[in-house]
Amino acid sequence: MSNFRESILLPEQNRNISEIPIASRRKVLGAIGLTATALCASSTTASAGWLFKKKDDDMPVVKVRTSSNQRSTSQNLSRNVGGFPDEWTRLQGSNIAKYADYLNSLKMKKISAQDVISAHAKQRGDCWNTLPPKEWWARMGYTLRVIDRISEIMDISVKEIVSAYRSPQYNARCAGAKKHSWHQANVAVDVQFETSAYHVTQTARAVRDRGLFKGGVGSYSSFTHIDTRGTSVNW
Tens-place pLDDT, residues 50-103: 333 334 344 344 433 333 333 333 355 678 899 999 999 999 999 999 999 999
* 41, pLDDT greater than 50: no
The strand pair at 216-219 and 233-234 is best described as parallel
What does the pLDDT read at residue 34?
47
Distance separating alpha carbons of residues 223 and 160, to the nearest angstrom: 9
CA angle in degrees (0–180, nearest 5) for 62-222-121: 55
Which element (helix H / strand E) includes 156? none
Domain definitions of the chain by residue range: 4-66+83-234
Residue 8 banded pLDDT, cuts 50, 70, 90? very low
Half-sphere exposure in the Cβ direction for 38 (13 Å, CA) = 20
| Contact criterion met (CB below 8 Å) for 206 and 159 | no
pLDDT, tens only, 102-130: 999 999 999 999 999 999 999 999 999 99
- d(CA 27, CA 32) in angstroms, rounded, equals 9
144-201 pLDDT, tens digit each: 999 999 999 999 999 999 999 999 999 999 988 888 899 999 999 999 999 999 999 9
pLDDT at 209: 93
Is the four-CA dihedral 174, 235, 39, 152 of positive or negative sign? Answer: negative
**Model-level pTM?**
0.71
Going by the DSSP 8-state scheme, the letter that residue 93 receives in this structure is: T
